[in-house]
Structure 1
Amino acid sequence: MRFQVLGPVSVWAGDVRLDIRGSKMRTFLASLLLARGRVVSDARLIKMLWDEDLPATTQAQVQTYASRLRSVLGAEIKIERTPPGYRLELPSARPARLDLLEFEELSTQGHEALASGRHAEASRLLRSALARWNGQALGGVTDHLATVEQPRLEEAKLTAQEECIDAELALGRHQALITELTALVASHPLRERPRAQLMTALHHSGRTADALDVYQQFRTVLADELGLDPSTELQNLRQSIVTAFSPGWSGTVRMPAPDRGRAPALPPEPSDFVGRTQEVSRACAALADSPVDNGMSRVCAVSGMSGIGKTVLALRVARKLRHHYSDRQLLVELGGRSARPPDSRTVLLDVLDRLGVSPTTTTTWALVEQLRQALAGTRTLLVLDDAANERQIRPLLSAVPGCGVLVTSRTPLAALEGVRRIALDALSGDESVLLLSRIAGVERVEAERSTAQRIAELCSGIPLAVRISGSRLATRPHWLLHRLAERLADPRRVLTELSVGDLDVRDCLLPTHAALDIELRRALDSLVALGPRDFSCATAAKLLGVSVAEAQDVLDDLVAAYVLRREDSQDGYRFPALILALVGERDEAAVPSIPVHRTERAYRVPAGPEQLGDDNVRSLRSPA
């Protein structure tokens, strides 16, 4: 079965076009297809179907459209009622085809081929992607769905077409492209890239005067419509054509670098991203504005506990820098949470393969040199996600001169040289409530705002926990917020509650706990007896039975491991509630009664409770 949304919305079973009658039915189907297997809420379906002109029986009519569509598509295509909406599941045994997915896959492959200089392959892939289009996208749907979704689909098509033309210009097909480019410029008179491409094609076809006239027309249009001048890149292209238009010249015009930022190779950050304004600004400044010497790369490391939003922040920063790093943006997953993360050599081989470079050696530093040559002269941003340690990524940093590197890690990566570091802390209470409202619904959260603030507190301000809470509420519209808050308030079940789909706070935090060395883990097990309250270094020293200076080292290590927070109050510390829950869940019995040695000091363990001076907390006392 073949589904089409890049043209009139329709379904084909072999050569037979199925009868999808009426704009409402086509809108219902297109909304489910565009969701790519995710649930489309009733509220969104109603908005796409009727906008503000709602009939009296909206819910009943939505159910009717779902039933009719099931009867047309047959049992092979599942349309499931999954609160709070519907989900369309395409069969995996006999794969159904969706032109949009085929277009996106081919476009991505073509983009990567172009970025690595494989121009003939890029042309073939991108022309194949464009062949999936059969007119204007989403034909025959309601005006509201078309208004919401058509612009991004048309933008994706234009970007693919521009990149295809880039590849074919590089192959010397200048004259053959003039007709296509002339039509593209006429359809999009304010779009600069096709102007540059048409100028280049005309010049290389012996029509230099026409090429300069294209520039002058664009300059006039920009001035009349927007009061702007052409970009520096287009002005430089014009100047290079003028300079080249002289007797005896036999070179080529260097085009401005293609605007790869319009089709980054990275996935987008969630649309409900909140907060992190200062951190995003600092990372952008480090990667775009900071000076570099001797061709070194700009490197920014973002660290924080699991679930704190490091990857999401990295994707936001990369998107903001898409024009600065216009040749390529590449996400490299380093598997720091796994028991055996890949070593640097394995990572280098993976990066080279994704760049389309066949390794000619297997030694690490020879691979570094190959990567250096592949990236030389490009504006590339590498996002190294979830680095295990410094050793894993250090060779990559020496292989990307002039490029940008954004690293995320659950450790501070303190041994890396020349790195701008950003440590992510918990979201504030207001930011957590805002994220919760964007997922669960603004009106619903505002109706129980104090309870929403309590949920944010119980989630320790960890974005992953807040996101899971919001998702649970969104899929349980009959719940009041206080029902979830009551469940989260029980430390014995909070981690079980914070799980939905493939998101699980427990699974996210366990690697952080497991990565602690045995001495720190036992110290942590002892200190959690202090509970969720603030405590001082002196209190920790008494609890562990060590000096204040030794306790300070322990606390610093726990803070660096992101299982302990330094509070604003002087010499104040506090455990996140979810860390307390994790430790308590792993060992609900008493703290181990064996000595723990860390270099020349011992962390004492309990023989029984007593009061620790003015701190009024439980003591852990060494055996006699």
Structure 2
Amino acid sequence: MALVDRAQIDRAHNDHAHNDHAHIDRAHHLRFLLLGSIEAGDGSGLVELSASKMRTLLATLLLARSRIVPDSRIAAMLWGEHPPATSEAQIQIYVSRLRQKLGVPIVRQRPGYLLEVDPGQLDLVVFEQLARRGRDLLERGVAREAGEVLTRALALWRGPALAGATDLLTDAERPQLEEAKLATLEDRIDADLALRRHAELVAELTGLVADHPWRERLRGQLMLALYRSGRQAEAVTAYEELRRLLADDLSIEPGNDLRELFTRVLAADPGLDAPAGGDAPVRPSAAAPVRPAQLPPDTADFTGRLAESEHLAAMLERHDAGAPLAGCVISGMAGVGKTALAVHVAHQCQDSYPDGQLYVDLRGLTAEPVTPLDALGGMLRALGVDAAVVPPGLDDRVKLYRSRLIRQRVLVLLDNAASEQQVRPLLPTGRDCGVLVTGRARLSALEGLPILDLDVLAPAHALTLLGRIVGEERMRAEHAEAERIVALCGHLPLSIRIAGARLAAKPYWRLARLARRLDVQHRRLDELRIADSNVRTSLIQSYQGLSPAARHAFRLLALLDVPNFSLWTAAVVLDTKVAEARDLAEQLVDARLLDSLPATSGMSDQYRFHALVRALALERAAVEEHPKERRAALTRVMGASTWPNWVGTWSRSWAHCT
């Protein structure tokens, strides 16, 4: 068989795509639907897309929002971790058929395919635009128009998103789409509450709470609707049901907002009542607090961390002339317990800060982190500044905030910070205040605040934490399996809590059963999720913040099935110079996706993956790296290594390349 140049194939594919421009008028009139069954059509009717893989290909291209979709991503959505050897040829066939059916140019552009559509052609984009507009109107207090816009957004949904696609695609993409829908529904309910439609909402909210029992915002909306309907006792019962559910299943308490609403319902706070005329406030108003008390509840089963707690408490007592600001930055990987430790210490020290405690979740690694401007607006209102006189500009808000805190002993907890730029405007200048900042990045440029690097739990403390969740009797009955579970969880508090919550929810399970499930590496992250707690989701936020080159390095370095590896080995795997490999490795260290080991005499820099981080990296490698690229990386190492132990490592690592 004659060999054909790859570039020649690409040119042939793109020539075919350009021929589709004869259908350009029709292409611009097409509408693509993902919020329900996957469909495409225009005024003359729907295009027949009977094959599941055809629908999956179309949806995968559309979800990329006019960006290139790599072949590896398409193959993963069509066939999973083990695509056929002919996957590239089969994808080309599916693309060709899709072009013919739709009459749209799907362009071959290495390393994948590109489908460009106008935003108004895709129902998902239209939904997102309407949802944002409705949310903006809601925040401005224009409830009636907000409700109309949000209702239009929700009307675009025709059923479960991506219906008709492969399970591989729906498992990967449907949860976040359904989450966006539910958040928009909650916004629409807020608009209805503001329009005094509380009585009509009770039935709808009762059903929604039954479907989403852990969702605190829905529960709060039900409580408010019941209270405004003259059903105070039922509003209290709705709260107590959630409190018991969270305590029994997850060993946690409801959040601060819901607890505050519960207190106001018990007190029959007049501020909860809807006004007699006009739009009601979108959120029930409260009197300006004199002493803010915004700390989340302390963790009931907080375990270990005695040395760290004492260190942080000492840092919060540094009110001497040599310390410009009392406090500390707590840094560490996802799920290591930064927030739990900060909140625990803040509760222990709150008597030292009699003028109050401020808390802000900065949501630093989410798609919409809290800006300093918005954070200051909330903090000023909590300090008693009327919303009508909060300055519009950042500089003026900073000045007013710091003026308010002069000669005040207030503890400020800034949670989930992404950068120094996000935190710096929120730091008070008064020597009497204290600050705790948590974040995955070390934030070393925050002047005057020392850094505490938080590691995973010691094995004994990890076992204690698991025992407090599942019960000592089960732990004694299967002590070896309990040790195995916490080890497979990497002694990470979040993963241990999730494992414990799953066991607590299934008292008939033996610990050995969960241990066996966790022992399957490629399924481990699937097991470590319950309700809205998910190890994979927490870790992937760090991954998504990386540069493309650092993501590529993250995926390839995880192929090495070794306890730790040298900088020299990293350079060989990445096929780059040592200096560039060091830069990439340090990006991963800064993102808390790789550990840098202490230097030892005669050895180059050494690095190590946490087991769960490596599990995520291997998942992403299977989806985003072609098997040839994975095999080439390991072949380079084997060819360059003289270490005899690499023979065994080779066979283990090679298993991730097929």
Superposed, 1:447-486 pairs within 5 Å as: 447-486=477-516
Task: Name which of 410, 424, 449 aligns with 1:419.
Answer: 449
Q: Aligned residue for 2:476? A: 446
CA shift in 2, pair 1:313/1:533, >3 Å: same
Q: Aligned residue for 1:428? A: 458
2:557 is equivalent to residue 527 of structure 1: yes
For the residues of structure 2 that align with 1:100 and 1:293, how far apart are their CA atoms?
50
CA shift in 2, pair 1:541/1:609, >3 Å: closer
2:642 is equivalent to residue 507 of structure 1: no
Question: Contact 1:495 / 1:582 at 8 angstroms: preserved in 2?
Answer: yes
For the residues of structure 2 that align with 1:589 and 1:130, how far apart are their CA atoms?
53
2:384 is equivalent to residue 356 of structure 1: yes
CA shift in 2, pair 1:542/1:332, >3 Å: same
Q: Aligned residue for 1:289? A: 318
Normalising by structure 1, what TM-score? Answer: 0.55
Question: Contact 1:592 / 1:605 at 8 angstroms: preserved in 2?
Answer: no
Question: Contact 1:264 / 1:328 at 8 angstroms: preserved in 2?
Answer: yes
Could you list the runs of 5+ residues in structure 2 that have no partner in the other structure?
1-204, 211-218, 244-255, 271-286
Question: Contact 1:384 / 1:405 at 8 angstroms: preserved in 2?
Answer: yes
Q: Which amino acid aligns with 2:315?
A: A
Task: Name which of 224, 229, 232 aligns with 1:97.
Answer: 232
Q: Which amino acid aligns with 2:642?
A: G
1:361 Cα deviation from its structure 2 partner:
2.5
2:407 is equivalent to residue 272 of structure 1: no
Task: Name which of 309, 329, 340 aligns with 1:301.
Answer: 329
Task: Name which of 602, 613, 616 aligns with 1:582.
Answer: 616
Question: Contact 1:314 / 1:406 at 8 angstroms: preserved in 2?
Answer: yes
1:384 Cα deviation from its structure 2 partner:
0.5
CA shift in 2, pair 1:335/1:376, >3 Å: same
Q: Aligned residue for 2:439? A: 409
Question: Contact 2:556 / 2:621 at 8 angstroms: preserved in 1?
Answer: no
Question: Contact 1:332 / 1:383 at 8 angstroms: preserved in 2?
Answer: yes
1:299 is paired with a residue whose SS is: strand
Q: Which amino acid aligns with 2:622?
A: E
Q: Aligned residue for 1:340? A: 368
1:609 Cα deviation from its structure 2 partner:
6.7
Question: Contact 1:304 / 1:411 at 8 angstroms: preserved in 2?
Answer: yes
1:531 Cα deviation from its structure 2 partner:
2.6
CA shift in 2, pair 1:94/1:315, >3 Å: same
For the residues of structure 1 that align with 2:418 and 2:206, how far apart are their CA atoms?
42
Task: Name which of 346, 355, 360 aligns with 1:318.
Answer: 346
2:521 is equivalent to residue 491 of structure 1: yes
Q: Aligned residue for 1:204? A: none
For the residues of structure 2 that align with 1:273 and 1:466, how far apart are their CA atoms?
12
Cα-to-partner distance string for 1:209-240 (whole Å, 9 max, x where unaligned): xxxxxxxxxxxxxxxxxxxxxxxxxxxxxxxx
CA shift in 2, pair 1:499/1:128, >3 Å: closer
1:393 Cα deviation from its structure 2 partner:
1.2
CA shift in 2, pair 1:265/1:574, >3 Å: same
93-102 or 408-417, larger mean C-alpha shift: 93-102
Q: Which amino acid aligns with 2:475?
A: V
1:543 Cα deviation from its structure 2 partner:
2.1
Question: Contact 1:593 / 1:605 at 8 angstroms: preserved in 2?
Answer: no
2:370 is paired with a residue whose SS is: coil
Cα-to-partner distance string for 1:557-615 (whole Å, 9 max, x where unaligned): 322221112456845432112112212223315845999xxxxxxxx956767342216
1:130 Cα deviation from its structure 2 partner:
11
Could you list the runs of 5+ residues in structure 1 that have no partner in the other structure?
1-75, 81-88, 113-124, 132-163, 168-257, 596-603
1:329 Cα deviation from its structure 2 partner:
0.8
Cα-to-partner distance string for 1:179-226 (whole Å, 9 max, x where unaligned): xxxxxxxxxxxxxxxxxxxxxxxxxxxxxxxxxxxxxxxxxxxxxxxx
| Structure 1 or 2: more helix by fraction | 2
Question: Contact 2:416 / 2:439 at 8 angstroms: preserved in 1?
Answer: yes
For the residues of structure 2 that align with 1:521 and 1:582, how far apart are their CA atoms?
12
CA shift in 2, pair 1:319/1:590, >3 Å: closer
Task: Name which of 405, 415, 421 aligns with 1:375.
Answer: 405
Question: Contact 2:236 / 2:266 at 8 angstroms: preserved in 1?
Answer: no
Cα-to-partner distance string for 1:17-74 (whole Å, 9 max, x where unaligned): xxxxxxxxxxxxxxxxxxxxxxxxxxxxxxxxxxxxxxxxxxxxxxxxxxxxxxxxxx
CA shift in 2, pair 1:320/1:589, >3 Å: closer
For the residues of structure 2 that align with 1:578 and 1:126, how far apart are their CA atoms?
43
Cα-to-partner distance string for 1:142-164 (whole Å, 9 max, x where unaligned): xxxxxxxxxxxxxxxxxxxxxx9
Question: Contact 2:573 / 2:636 at 8 angstroms: preserved in 1?
Answer: no
2:437 is paired with a residue whose SS is: strand
Task: Name which of 552, 566, 569 aligns with 1:536.
Answer: 566
Q: Which amino acid aligns with 2:364?
A: G
Cα-to-partner distance string for 1:333-375 (whole Å, 9 max, x where unaligned): 1111211312211211121122221345222111111111222
1:542 Cα deviation from its structure 2 partner:
2.6
For the residues of structure 1 that align with 2:351 and 2:267, how far apart are their CA atoms?
26
1:511 Cα deviation from its structure 2 partner:
0.5
Q: Aligned residue for 2:26? A: none
CA shift in 2, pair 1:357/1:435, >3 Å: same
RMSD: 4.0
1:557 is paired with a residue whose SS is: helix
Question: Contact 2:363 / 2:369 at 8 angstroms: preserved in 1?
Answer: yes
Task: Name which of 642, 645, 656 aligns with 1:613.
Answer: 642
CA shift in 2, pair 1:401/1:594, >3 Å: farther
2:522 is paired with a residue whose SS is: coil
Report how many residues are paired: 387
Question: Contact 2:456 / 2:491 at 8 angstroms: preserved in 1?
Answer: yes
Question: Contact 2:569 / 2:637 at 8 angstroms: preserved in 1?
Answer: no
CA shift in 2, pair 1:423/1:444, >3 Å: same
For the residues of structure 2 that align with 1:360 and 1:566, how far apart are their CA atoms?
45
1:523 is paired with a residue whose SS is: helix
Identity of aligned residues (%): 36
2:355 is equivalent to residue 327 of structure 1: yes
Question: Contact 2:462 / 2:486 at 8 angstroms: preserved in 1?
Answer: yes
Q: Aligned residue for 2:122? A: none
CA shift in 2, pair 1:381/1:589, >3 Å: closer
Q: Which amino acid aligns with 2:232?
A: R
Normalising by structure 2, what TM-score? Answer: 0.53
For the residues of structure 2 that align with 1:580 and 1:495, how far apart are their CA atoms?
11
For the residues of structure 1 that align with 2:355 and 2:598, how far apart are their CA atoms?
43
For the residues of structure 1 that align with 2:355 and 2:496, how far apart are their CA atoms?
35
CA shift in 2, pair 1:328/1:398, >3 Å: closer
Cα-to-partner distance string for 1:401-421 (whole Å, 9 max, x where unaligned): 531111111111122111111
Q: Aligned residue for 2:77? A: none
1:495 Cα deviation from its structure 2 partner:
1.3
For the residues of structure 2 that align with 1:453 and 1:569, how far apart are their CA atoms?
30
1:270 Cα deviation from its structure 2 partner:
1.2
Q: Aligned residue for 1:392? A: 422
